[in-house]
Structure 1
Amino acid sequence: MTADFADDLLKGKRILITGGGTGLGKSMGHRFMELGADLIICGRRLEVLEATAQEFKQAFGRTVQTIACDVRSAESVESMLDDAWWNGKVDVLVNNAAGNFIAQTHKLSSRAIDSVLGICLHGGAYCTTGMGRRWIEANRPGTVLSILTVSALMGAPFTVPSAMAKAGIEAMTKSLAVEWGPKGIRLVAVVPGSFPTEGATSRLTPAGSATSSHEGIPLRRTGKHIELANLCAFLVSDLAGYITGETVVIDGGSRYLGGARGGVREMLNWTDEDWEKQRASMPVSRSAQVTS
């Protein structure tokens, strides 16, 4: 099922997506290209970006620019934005890159905290201010779309750094919508609920959890990537030209139940042994560590 958008809804727009090679970023990019946009995707793994770009070229017959970038590094972000900017105009920035995992907060190492804040908070701020500066200096309008989490609005145990970081990006969205509004720059945010992806599922699903992925969702299902992509396409299009500073939630109504993410109630009662099993089950991360 797809929304009844005009095929050229995003024609003429050049869209930069951070973390655009996999997961929700890839799904958004696919939909944006279906609607006529030209695409730039960045991420840490160039081989992943190039594989996605090749898929899109075969599907749409248009080249996708790929740029290796670690958004935790201000220097890397500036280099990436230079590459994107000088290869053609950029109309839309999508702050999608993210990092998260479940852990007992009091056992997080400083490196683990910095890893999440570096991607989700610093990276989003570096990309947004860098792109905004270029738009303002060139006297061009632009749109920033940031992908948040429900924890940014409600808080969340066991994923505290991510909640902190995404709440900061929401504050940035509201603040810059006012500051940059006179410059013709819009900022909007989207809060997805449960939209399963391989990366997020492997890091955020409690080991051995018996909790159904549909529990706590009034619509009794997880979201479809096309549903999120359609919402994002609308928000970055000219149809939403009078919307700025807003955060739109797409979660099947789950937050209104006050329900924490599936498995959280179980985790509140976990023993140290349960947490050890969880740590052992998680994919190895080179940049995020939890103290023992």
Structure 2
Amino acid sequence: MKRYVNKTVLVTGSSQGIGAACALRMASEGAKVILNGRKLDERGEALIRAITEMGSKAEFITADISITAEAVRLVNEATGVFGALDILVNNAGVEKKHDFWDVTEEEYDLVMDTNLKGVFFGIQAFVKYCMAGKKPGVIVNMSSVHEEIIFPHFAAYCASKGGLKMLTRNLATELAPYQIRINNVAPGAISTPINKSLLENKELLNSVLENIPMKRLGKPEDVAAIVAFLASDEAAYVTGSTYFVDGGLTWHYEEQ
């Protein structure tokens, strides 16, 4: 089923991992895709080739989401690449591990600027575009199970995702009269490059798996499937929600 024929989607932070999986999934269903990263490298080039081979179209726009002006420029440029922009997937994000008392202002700013501030103003640019054209729009934010559960040594990250949770709920109400939907997807432990150290540490990995009732890590494709649903017309009556993709982790979590 081609749910995205004549639709264009922007996926931020889409060079690898979950972002790349989202881009590929939506392209496979007919979407024209605008990819994003801080630089275009062999990963982005490979994605463009893969999407083109599917029979769809892809372009790459470089931008650093942690810089507000860059986040706004990205959205504004994306609206003109294929003539329209229908869906915004805010996937780009960072985390920094430190004891709370060792977190620097620079590290805090990087996490908050990337995960919350850049997302905030990127959404604002998209909403202004939709309102100016009197057209509906769909926003899907990549949150985390840590919008809900604790993550010791990642205080700034948890604060950013908790903020994203409330931003999404607030905007769902404010944007609904304009036919703009917004939802969060909250991955748990997913096998991606950001979890490389976890994957290489058997003892730590086993500890994590003990907290997951399904006893496995998720795949980027597991997350992309939910993003593709929420961005589609099948979710036309869904807004202001968070969908957990965690194998049951959230309500089974125990800090070791």
TM-score, normalised to structure 1's length?
0.82
Q: Tell me if the contact between 1:216 and 1:257 (Cα under 8 Å) persists in the aligned partners.
A: yes
1:210 and 2:203 correspond: yes
Q: CA deviation at 1:259?
A: 2.2
Q: Tell me if the contact between 1:14 and 1:39 (Cα under 8 Å) persists in the aligned partners.
A: yes
Q: CA deviation at 1:133?
A: 1.1
1:172 and 2:172 correspond: no
1:69 and 2:96 correspond: no
Q: 1:222 aligns with which of 217, 220, 228?
A: 217
Q: Distance in 2 between matches of 1:234 and 1:222?
A: 21
Q: CA deviation at 1:54?
A: 2.4
Other-structure match for 1:153: 148
Secondary structure at 1:42 match in 2:
strand
Other-structure match for 1:38: 32
* Cα pair distance change 1:101/1:202, threshold 3 Å: farther
Q: 1:29 aligns with which of 23, 39, 43?
A: 23
Q: How does 1:186-201 map to 2 (within 5 A)?
A: 186-198=181-193, 200-201=194-195
Q: How does 1:1-12 map to 2 (within 5 A)?
A: 6=1, 8-12=2-6
Q: CA deviation at 1:135?
A: 0.7
Secondary structure at 1:180 match in 2:
helix
Q: 1:110 aligns with which of 105, 112, 116?
A: 105
Query: CA offsets per residue over residues 73-97 of structure 1, 9 Å max, x none?
Result: 1221222222111222111000100
Q: Distance in 1 between matches of 2:226 and 2:142?
A: 12
Amino acid at match of 1:44: R
Secondary structure at 2:203 match in 1:
coil
Amino acid at match of 1:40: I
Greater CA radius of gyration, 1 or 2? 1
Amino acid at match of 1:93: L
Cα-Cα RMSD: 1.7
Q: CA deviation at 1:171?
A: 0.8
Percent sequence identity over matched residues?
27
Q: Tell me if the contact between 1:218 and 1:253 (Cα under 8 Å) persists in the aligned partners.
A: yes
Q: 1:80 aligns with which of 70, 74, 84?
A: 74
Q: Distance in 1 between matches of 2:25 and 2:160?
A: 27
Q: Distance in 1 between matches of 2:15 and 2:231?
A: 19
Other-structure match for 1:277: none
Other-structure match for 2:249: 254
Q: Distance in 2 between matches of 1:255 and 1:78?
A: 33
Q: Tell me if the contact between 1:39 and 1:65 (Cα under 8 Å) persists in the aligned partners.
A: yes
Query: CA offsets per residue over residues 223-275 of structure 1, 9 Å max, x none?
Result: 12222211111111000000000111111111212324xxxx2xxxxxxxxxx
TM-score, normalised to structure 2's length?
0.93
Amino acid at match of 1:210: E
Q: Tell me if the contact between 1:71 and 1:126 (Cα under 8 Å) persists in the aligned partners.
A: no
Other-structure match for 1:163: 158
Q: CA deviation at 1:206?
A: 9.8
Q: Distance in 2 between matches of 1:102 and 1:215?
A: 22
Q: Tell me if the contact between 1:149 and 1:193 (Cα under 8 Å) persists in the aligned partners.
A: yes
Q: How does 1:121-132 map to 2 (within 5 A)?
A: 121-132=116-127
Q: CA deviation at 1:31?
A: 0.6
Amino acid at match of 1:133: K
* Cα pair distance change 1:66/1:89, threshold 3 Å: same
Query: CA offsets per residue over residues 195-231 of structure 1, 9 Å max, x none?
Result: 1101x1136x399672314221001111122222111
Structure 1 unpaired stretches of 5+: 1-5, 266-292
Structure 2 unpaired stretches of 5+: none
Amino acid at match of 1:136: M
Secondary structure at 1:132 match in 2:
helix
